[in-house]
Amino acid sequence: MTLQFKPSETFRDTFTYAKTAEDILRFPFPFPEDEYMYSVNIEPHVKGGPTAAFQAVFDIDEHYVAECRERAKVLAEDPKRCQVLPHMMAAEWDTLELIMESLAADYPEHFTLTKAGDLWTWVNRPLGLQQSFTFGKAETLPCPPFEFITRQAQGDFTLQDQREDNLFVDGGMVTTQADWSLEFDIGMTFHEWHGPVPLAHEKGVFDRALKYLMRLQCGQPVRRLNWTMTVNPRLDTSPENYPVWGPDKATVTPENVAEKVHLRVELQTLFRLPRSNAILFGIRCYLTSVADIARVPKWRRRLHRVLRDLHPDIIGYKGLPRYRQMVIDHLAPFDDGVPTSRGIAPDTDTLDAAR
Amino acid sequence: MSPAATCDVRVREIEPLAPGLKRFSFEPAHGGLFSTPPAGGHVMLTLRDGARVMKNAYSLVSPPAERARYDIIVRLVAQSRGGSAFLHHKVARGDVLEMAPPLSLFPVAATAKKHLLIGGGIGITPLLSHLPELKARGARYELHQLSVADEAAVFERLLAPFAAGAEIRVHGGGRAAFDMAGLLARQPLGTHLYVCGPRALMDAVSGTALALGWPKGKIHKESFGDTSGGLPFKAVLKRSGIEVEVGATQSLLEAMEAAGVAAPCLCRGGACGECRTPVIEGEVEHRDDFLSAEEKAAGTAIMTCVSRARGPRLVIDL
Amino acid sequence: MSDQGIKSRPKYQPIAPEPAGRHHLLVVEGAEVPGGALAEGVSPAAFEVWTVAHRSAVPGAPVMEEAAGAVRTFRSVPHLLGALQERLARERMGLRLYGAGTEPFVWDVFGIAQAAGLGRQETGFAHVGTQARRIFCVHCRAVTENVSTSIVTCSGCGASLFVRDHFSRRLAAFMGVQVDAEVPGEVPEAEELYA
């Protein structure tokens, strides 16, 4: 696999982000069925899966360099997007070890980790970085270990401490989020953090997920997919910057809906960490425009049906009311009513022409 | 969650520490490194003695940074179910055993202002797993190890690497000369307590702490060494239509596994809750740390890895 | 929409000494233990009580001595909170801490308790007095106090903020989100909700 990075693509202002055909087909499409409701859709995070996005512990794609640059910009403007409470230092080192070892094992052409006892040397070729440091000694790195390594990974990360029969979100690197604020939520319990999500509490989804996650074991990570929609390929849809990106929603028209509106998928992964017993929560964000989704027959039929039949509370919570009907109207002519296969695989390895 | 697949490990060293006390060191049989072991973690060994298959859990006493080997310390127990006797008498350097990857059910608390560790006898082993991590964190800790007089020197030697700048004491006179209440009463706010040893010691320590106002969430217990069996009984698995004879030296879980039943389990120590099974008929002798006192009194569920029937017959929903 | 169904909103209960505790310290925002703060049948004498007189001519109170039934009076809320920090730093296991007052007060107390190593099992809080809210502007991080309406003008950036039921114990505040971010100027009428 040779990745051609596109370091100059942008996720704000000019929005030059674009996907190659391979990148469209590896999209982790989030709907295994024609309808959607909250569930405890957690499965073991093992390599392999319905698309190429599931072939590594931490997935890297053609947007890697550009996403790391976008993250650096967000942090330069708002350093509080990365915060870790002081009692989580062991979890910071656990995170650094897990991500470095996983990237070096999955992408040896891009990343190398060498160790001589506690003296580690990390080489990140796509970003042109080389760093020697002493594992366990934060002063030997240019910034704290969690920030150091998550600046070099795609997607957001949070750290959960387990105590008092609960999980507390006690740290995170959050620059590509779907409208939640680390600054506001840090220190919250699992249920408080998920407080604003509608319907799922009443269905017992969070009670069961919490019990399951508290039993999560080292070396047996799990994953799930979550989704929302975003206008323009914007990674930073934070509450902090809502006044900046909120007006985008009113710019959608029937003419531009396919290019402007993106399905935003989070490949969420959960890892129990050894020294700290914390849980690392990876929230890897993938953006694909409605126009690109429409090039896969199964996906365009299914997205149409899911959006058409979506529960009103979910439409509100995910912030879709302003343009959902335009997406449905755009996709409806391409939904011939043919049944779709179960699961999220595209069922094709070529794309239809753009429509 | 199903237990992770086992891997083959080779015995790379056996070191006698004292009469009846040996340290076993394992390495991956097919090369490479182990995963970083969790602080307070344990592994499960599958021991095959002829036709008999035993699964025993042992705390890892090697530090997290050491991934070329995993170490355990095993005490030879006179009335053991056979696991410790098998390891002590039949396992030699170079032998290959099956090991399940480590689990962490006895972790170090991140928010603790201080860590108070109390061990009794071989219950020192999970505490030995905590100490490297506490030291690496620069955490404040205090350890009291209760011991019979002639083993005190062994424990002092094992603890020596962690003694600098910390209060570590081995009480060779056992519990009699140990002021447990005084120790627990003078701990600063935010202390977490970890105790491992014979059940009587763990009950006494946690009972004393609770009486002094310690909240449950700051008292951490590792079930250890309480693997003694009990009277044999018959388990009826209603849904599967199977009857299983549970022997005197066997757990209900082990008996079901021997009968080919894929029963749920994870920790095999009555802590994680995975093997919780509804009881339809019969009285349960609860030995787990998972069910609440109310649930135990209700008698409608059993943790098959440690608990047994009080009578001759138990009907479970499995 | 006074109940937005958000689960981060704290639930409060009248205070009763937790039976497992060794010593019970109750801090209140006013000069007296407010009516409704304690559970039925519970006497203030079950606690060591710290109160706030809101005046300067109050003699000093010993903060380190433990005694159920003792009442110690402080001059102001910061005076009490500072003493509480000192006390907790010297306390031993077995203490239970309770707070009664407005939401910002009790969660400021919780923050001090948490920093001292007390967990949620060792603390209990009653919300008494005004229902007005402290609002944290998620855009500019300014805090606007004493908010009783569904929409409020941010004291920091001037945005019209919708008061979300999402509550942060760490900030002792509810979240404020710009209500007209998508279409500037589209601001609904504010309702009086949290008096």
User: DSSP of chain C, one letter per residue?
Assistant: ------TTS-----B---TT-SEEEEEESSSSPPTTSBPTT--GGGSEEEEE-SSS------SS---TT-EEEESSHHHHHHHHHHHHHT-BTTEEEEEEE-HHHHHHHHHHHHHTT--GGGEEEEE-S---EEEEETTT--EEEEE-BSEEE-TTT--EEEEEEEEETTTTEEEEEETTSSSTT--PPP-B---
Chain A nearest C-alpha distance from B37 (Å):
6
Query: Quick one: closest CA in C to A321, which residue?
Result: C182
Catalytic annotation, residues of A = 224
Most B CBs within 10 Å, among C84, C93, C121, to test the B interface:
C93
Q: Domains of chain C, with CATH numbers?
A: 23-127 (3.40.50), 133-178 (no CATH)
Helices (H) and strands (E) in chain A, counts: 13, 10
pLDDT at site B226: 46
- A184, A186, A250 ranked by CB distance to C138: nearest: A184
CB within 8 Å of chain B, chain C residues 147-176 = none
Span B214-225, pLDDT tens digits: 999 999 998 644
Give the C window 122-181 contacts with A, CB below 8 Å.
136, 138-139, 141, 159, 164-171, 175, 177-178, 181
- Which residues from A are below 8 Å from B63, CB to CB? none
What is the rounded distance in angstroms from the CA atom of residue B56 to the CA atom of residue B101? Answer: 13
Q: Is the pLDDT of residue B97 over 90?
A: yes
pLDDT band at B94 (very low <50, low <70, confident <90, very high): very high
Asked if A183 is an interface residue toward chain C (Cβ–Cβ < 8 A), one would say yes
pLDDT of residue C16: 96
Residue A40 in contact with partner chain B when CB distance is under 8 A = no
Confidence (pLDDT) at B264:
84
**Residue B210 banded pLDDT, cuts 50, 70, 90:** very high
C165-175 mean pLDDT: 93
Ranges B98-107, B112-121, C57-66, C102-111: which has the least confidence: C57-66
Complete domains list, chain B, with CATH: 7-103 (2.40.30.10), 114-223 (3.40.50.80), 233-316 (3.10.20.30)
Minimal-distance CA residue of chain C relative to A240: C139
> Tens of pLDDT along chain A (355 residues)?
578 999 999 999 999 999 999 999 999 999 999 999 987 788 889 998 899 999 999 999 999 999 999 999 999 999 999 999 999 999 999 999 999 999 999 999 999 999 999 999 999 999 999 999 999 999 999 999 999 999 999 999 999 999 998 999 999 999 999 999 999 999 999 989 988 887 777 777 788 788 888 888 899 899 999 999 999 999 999 999 999 999 999 999 999 999 999 999 999 999 999 999 999 999 999 999 999 999 999 999 999 999 999 999 999 989 899 999 999 999 999 999 999 999 999 999 999 987 6
Put simply, the answer to whether C138 touches A183 (Cβ < 8 Å) is yes
pLDDT value, residue A258 = 97
Contact assignment for C93 to B216 by CB distance below 8 Å: no
Residues in chain B with CB shorter than 8 Å from the CB of C89 are: 189
Q: Give the model confidence (pLDDT) of C40-49 as tens digits.
A: 999 999 999 9
Q: Calculate the average pLDDT of chain B.
A: 90
Q: Do A196 and C120 touch (CB under 8 A)?
A: no
Q: What per-residue confidence (pLDDT) applies to B80? A: 61
Residues B249-289: tens digit of each pLDDT: 688 998 998 888 888 876 677 767 788 999 999 999 998 87
- Cα C160–chain centre separation: 25
Report the C-alpha gap between C183 and C186 in whole angstroms.
Answer: 6
CB pairs under 8 A between A and B: 81
- The answer to whether the CB atoms of C95 and B213 lie below 8 A apart is yes
Q: In this predicted structure, what is the pLDDT of residue A64?
A: 98
Q: Test A195 with C9 for CB contact under 8 angstroms.
A: yes
Range among A9-13, A210-214, B237-241, C168-172 with highest mean pLDDT value: A9-13
Please give the residue that has the higher pLDDT: either A194 or C156.
C156
How far apart CA B65 and CA B59 sit, in angstroms, is: 16
Q: Using CB atoms, pick whichever of C120, C136, C166 lies closest to residue A196.
A: C166
The predicted pLDDT at position B267 comes to 67
Return the amino acid letter for B178. Answer: F
Decide if C182 touches A, using CB distance below 8 A. Answer: yes
* Range in A351-355, B72-76, C112-116 the model is least confident about: A351-355
pLDDT score recorded for residue C1: 39
Q: What are the CA-CA distances from residue B210 to residues B215, B216, B294, C21, C123 (Å)?
A: 7, 7, 18, 9, 16
Q: How far is CA B55 from the centre of its chain?
A: 12
Asked if this assembly's ipTM is beyond 0.90, the reply is yes
Q: What pLDDT shows up at residue B52?
A: 80
Q: Say if the Cβ atoms of C138 and A186 lie within 8 Å.
A: no
Q: What is the pLDDT at residue B228? A: 54
User: Taking the domains of chain A in order of start, what are their residue ranges?
Assistant: 21-56+69-85+154-334
Q: Tell me, what's the pLDDT at B1?
A: 38
Beta strands in A117-177 (DSSP E): 119-124, 129-134, 156-163, 166-173
